[in-house]
A and B are shown apart, each in its own frame.
Chain A
Amino acid sequence: MVEAAAPAPAGALWSLHETAFTAGDRAILSPLTLGLPAGRVYGLIGPNGSGKSTLLKMLARQIAPTGGAIRFDGRPLTAWTGRAFAREVAYMPQFMPASDGMNVRELVSLGRYPWHGALGRFTAEDEARVEAAIQRTGLSAFRDRAVDSLSGGERQRAWLALMLAQGARCLLLDEPTSALDIAHQMEVLAILRELGDEAGTGAEGGAMTVIVILHDINLAARTCDGLLALRGGRLIAQGPCGEIMQPENLRAIYGLDMGVMAHPVSGAPMSYVL
């Protein structure tokens, strides 16, 4: 097993120091020290109630940690102003709110708020970014459709397009595939994978950093560069997919006897319940 409490490497995009979250006297997340370098796709896995969403929400500044500190790009999260942070980090909650009757283009343009603010002009640059995000998620044909009238997969892609239009270099996604069938899951995850591969999507010519909560361990292993496994509010394993996808690790994470085999075509590790 990979040791969890490795010191945070210098220059990591995200660095957590003794970050903890307690509700009342219940520890949702035990003190966690962790560094995540930029330009990778990280999968956050673990059973229900293991603290994945809490961790992601703290990274997204949706909730404040009750102990310790989080730094993004070397600066404490509390030092960022709202819009400056939103230009760097985009967050998609687990449940999408109703979209208030907007069509796809209108929804995606909201992603430009961190750049133009309440009163700034909606520039040609904004327009181009919105258009690029719509293209990227394959929604060109749905540009003028009401978001509420789209299917689950299309709606998820519309929200993803909003995040892309935000121009952030880090995406945080809380179970973006939970309500989707397998084909639509693959669609969304393929976009995330591409973002992680492509130079120029993130900052300084590097690839985008993505942190995504996924329930399906096989999809996570297929999509991500590295996995972070939580259980009972503790980080119990961290490392490249191949290292995490071992029977003893999977038992530690899920409390279930599982085996691992190679994907018949790609050779990537796949787990199965024994």
Chain B
Amino acid sequence: MAELALPRPTGMRPLPFGLALSALGLGLFALVLMRRPDLPGAAFDLDELLLWHSLLPRAATALLAGAALGLSGALLQRVLRNPIADPSTLGIAAGAQLALTLALAFAPALLALSREGTAFAGGVAAVALVLALSARRGFEPVTLVVAGMTLSLMAGALSAALILVRGDYVFALFIWGAGSLHQQNWEPAQLIGTRLALAAGATFLLRRPLGLMALDDAGARSLGMAVQGMRLAVIAVAVALAASVVSEVGVIGFVGLAAPALARVAGARRPDAVLLAAPLIGALLLWITDSLVQLTAGNGGDLIPTGAAVGLLGGPLLLWLLPRLRAAAPPLSVPATPRRRWRRPGRALAGLAVAALLAGLFALVAGRDLDGWALATGPLLTELLAFRAPRVVAAAAAGGLLGAAGAIMQKLTGNPLAGPEVLGVSAGAGVGLAAALLLAPDAGPGLLLAASAGGALGALLLVLAIAAATGFGAEKLLLAGIALGCMALAILSAFFAAGGPGSFLLLAWMAGTTDRVDLMQAAILAACALLLLLPVALAGRWLSLLPLGAGVAGSLGLRVAASQLLLTLLAAAMTGVAAFFVGPLSLVGLIGPHLARQLGLNRGAVFVFASALIGALVLLLADWLARMVAFPYQLPTGLLAALVGGPYLIWLLQRGDRHG
């Protein structure tokens, strides 16, 4: 099993760190208490009511939920030997949330029966899927987390679609989903508390086997431990903890990730010390965040849900940790060897182009009407073209741009798992969009498009800067992207929670609906696609050299920084423009390059163009399906692409080692 490890911390004393954190928590809570509204005396004491039935239970819930998440994260990190595992990165939280959303939309009786049980089932299903998929790679940390994050994205897309379909009824779910800690009573605190006590007891009993888990499987087994059984039992405990938190207060990411990491940085070295310190730090972390949220709250309620705030604080924390994370593993081995080679890649490209063209024609002509399937011809076609042509053009252009952007990012980073979705670039585009909607509610499409591209550029530059500072390790780059993506999504949930006219627009954007595209926009998009794709032809040699790393590329005389910057700008512009039309979730930026590589078209500019054509093909197909599957209703294209592409991608991930 490959491993990442945090280096032995230096200089920081655990006790002062804990005391400082506790003091900060107490101080902030005192401020919260002092700021509570001055209520005029009545028949009963409102002040006492507020204190006993809102503020104190809220603090207790924050402390207990934080501790539960911290313990859950510490357990997962220990049994998977993966310092970046936690309920959110493994998809457990998203799975639990999706289960609850599904239940609320389709089977509310289930929730009445057991919210926690429903959430637990979702969490178990998610983690089982993620583990099954990464088992063939020996639960290698980054594969595991990429599978988990992909699953989270898909679950998120499904939730967004459900909310779109069911409207206001489930909209409140988003606020809950973003982890609001508002309390009316002690019930959630009690529920989480009992689960936490049970799990703490189990952890105490299992502390010796857990200590052995620090060895590799063979070592632990040779000392007489049933490794797999032990691992499954501990994972079940961790999922149960996370599920109880999700069912009571919603998704709160990062605490499970940050608490054990902070414990280690603060000087907890032995396994049992981490397992003890992580819940304590997790509790303080969530409590502090929640107090901050309450202190910044206006009269209308919290400005942002606590879960989103944790994301905002946790993202930078993870980024700060990254350079301190020492990879104890050989760099991610890249199964990049294609099965075949083309003597004339130009012909293969032409074939792909013809296929994309045919798919476009098919999408224009074939369809369903009220009587069934039909090929439109003549006047009917002319009539339908006005509706179908913009969507088909937009889908093809956006797919092409995303595929090309993914291919460029993979060459830039020398990492076959990089892509606009995984590196947080698409989510960055969303933040740009949200900012524009917030600052200029009447913004036209041009401004929104520019804002989207600007957000994507900011995100990509940040990720690349972090990667450069940490030496462009494949793992670190992906982690930086994941952290950034989580942060961006936290910002977006805060935007949703604030409500307002922009939030439904943004929600539709998240799901990736193309039905609002008019002919003008489609034409602009197509022009952008051509304009951005053509320069790639000139950069073919850069794209061949850069994956070899700055050292080799530089010693061959390439101006590394300049070429990287230019390609970065290009990829960011591509992502920003495309994501504006199909949302952040489509996964086309990963699928296009993957398929291109499978086809043996993995060299230089050919790789980028092949990825673009495949991306266009995939999105054309997704768009057509989105129009046809639930006819006469239309599903969001980006969502459909993610739902088709996600499983395919995960399947690719787990079979990737066959020729690695």
Contacts and interface: CB of A to CB of B under 8 A. Distances in A.
A102 interface: yes
B182 interface: no
A102 B601 CA distance: 11
A254 interface: no
Interface in B586-610: 597, 602-603
Interface string B328-363: 000101101110010000000000000000000000
A243 B597 CA distance: 54
Quick one: which of B333, B541, B549, B597 has the most chain A CB within 10 A? B541
A62 interface: yes
A60 interface: yes
Contact of B549 (A91, A97, A102, A114): A97
A100 B336 contact: yes
Contacts of B310: none
B547 interface: yes
B299 interface: no
A98 B557 contact: no
A146 B547 CA distance: 16
Contact of B547 (A90, A100, A111, A116): A100
B556 A101 contact: no
A118 B554 CA distance: 13
B34 interface: no
Nearest to B539: A118
B530 interface: no
A74 interface: no
B545 interface: yes
A119 interface: yes
Quick one: which of B333, B414, B552, B555 has the most chain A CB within 10 A? B555
Nearest to A148: B337
A113 B603 contact: no
Interface in A79-104: 81-87, 89-91, 93, 97-103
B634 interface: no
Given A100-B336, A101-B336, A83 B557 contact: yes
Contacts of A166: 556
A62 B538 contact: no
Given A82-B554, A83-B557, A113-B557, A149 B337 contact: yes
B558 interface: yes
B607 to A, nearest CB: 9
Interface string A113-137: 1101111000000000000000000
B287 interface: no
A101 B557 contact: no
Contacts of A101: 334, 336-338, 597, 602
Interface string A160-177: 000000100000000000
Given A118-B539, A146-B337, A149-B337, A100 B554 contact: no
Interface string B219-255: 0000000000000000000000000000000000000
A111 B549 CA distance: 14
B54 interface: no
B495 to A, nearest CB: 39
Contacts of A114: 556-557
Nearest to A103: B341
Given A100-B602, A101-B338, A149-B337, A111 B556 contact: yes
Contacts of A83: 557
Given A82-B554, A97-B548, A100-B414, A113 B337 contact: no
Given A100-B336, A146-B337, A148-B336, A110 B557 contact: no
Say whether chain A's binding surface is mostly helix, strand, loop, or mixed: mixed
B650 to A, nearest CB: 22
Interface in B466-488: none
Interface residues of A, number: 35
Contacts of A60: 555
Contacts of A110: 544-545, 548, 556
B500 interface: no
B176 interface: no
Interface string A134-155: 0000000000101011000000
B336 A93 contact: no
B557 A62 contact: no
A144 B341 contact: yes
B414 A82 contact: no
A102 B549 CA distance: 14
B551 interface: yes
A61 interface: yes
B10 to A, nearest CB: 15
Nearest to B559: A82
A98 B336 CA distance: 9
Given A101-B336, A101-B597, A144-B341, A93 B558 contact: no
B555 A119 contact: no
Interface in A251-271: none
A111 B557 CA distance: 10
A116 B540 CA distance: 13
A187 interface: no
A62 B550 CA distance: 9
B557 A86 contact: yes
B541 A113 contact: yes
Nearest to A111: B556
B139 interface: no
A106 interface: yes
Given A89-B555, A98-B547, A100-B544, 9 more contacts: A62-B554, A97-B548, A101-B334, A110-B545, A113-B558, A118-B539, A119-B538, A144-B341, A166-B556
17 contacts: A60-B555, A61-B554, A62-B555, A81-B557, A82-B558, A84-B557, A85-B557, A97-B547, A97-B552, A98-B333, A98-B414, A100-B547, A100-B602, A101-B597, A101-B602, A113-B556, A118-B541
